[in-house]
Amino acid sequence: MRALLVAGVVALALIVLAPASAAKKGGCPAAWSAGWQKLANKVDAPVYCPTWMPNPLDAKIGGQYQDIYSVGKDRSFLVSFLEHGDLGSGDVHVNFRGYPGRTAIPNCPAPVGKGKVPCFSEPVGHMSSKGIHATVYQVNQGADQWHIALAWHFNRSLYVVSEHVIAPYRFTTQIKRNLARLLTALVLVKPAG
């Protein structure tokens, strides 16, 4: 009887001490899921929630690292997470974008002069994980300027995740590993109802 009671107390302690951001089996981490579900419902389209983020970021929409939360009239969205590095470590900045119902790369204002240019350009390779086949773009505009971006299609829509390249990180090392890990860590959140 005493062994059963001790086992019960230990099991309860493990449940209480489990990390708040622990993912539902195969799903968005519990601490982040409400924000990503709300976004999917708002744009009436699937969105990708990451189960991992580069240190020190988390992907809690409305949390301390959220930088931008924007949903356009066309249901396109940008969710950005940012931490300014202390002691010269540089920024850690990750963007998530979606263009429900559109597969074409959108245009952005040209960085110099007038006119428009593709928001994502100069493909330099591909990355694949869990059924996502992404193109790697190295020249990007708008909030993704100075980022390396991964873009892919799902359900007749374009999705993009990007990370800022800034010292001490370089594309060939940490950023490339981070993007590969982010791609592997994405889980689909479908709109409710």
Per-10-residue mean pLDDT of the chain, 193 residues long, equals 35 31 67 98 98 93 96 98 73 94 95 90 96 96 94 97 80 85 97 88
The pLDDT value given to residue 90: 67
Residue with tokens 């709109």: 191
Residue 133 parent element (H or E):
strand 132-140
By the 8 A CB rule, do 50 and 61 touch?
Answer: no
The pLDDT value given to residue 86: 65
Domain map (residue ranges) of the chain: 31-189
3-state secondary structure of 54: coil
The pLDDT value given to residue 2: 38
pTM: 0.84
The pLDDT value given to residue 163: 94
Which DSSP letter does residue 86 get? Answer: S
151: exposed, middle or buried (Cβ count in 10 Å: 0-12, 13-18, 19+): buried
CA 189, CA 92: separation in Å to the nearest integer?
24
CA 101, CA 122: separation in Å to the nearest integer?
23
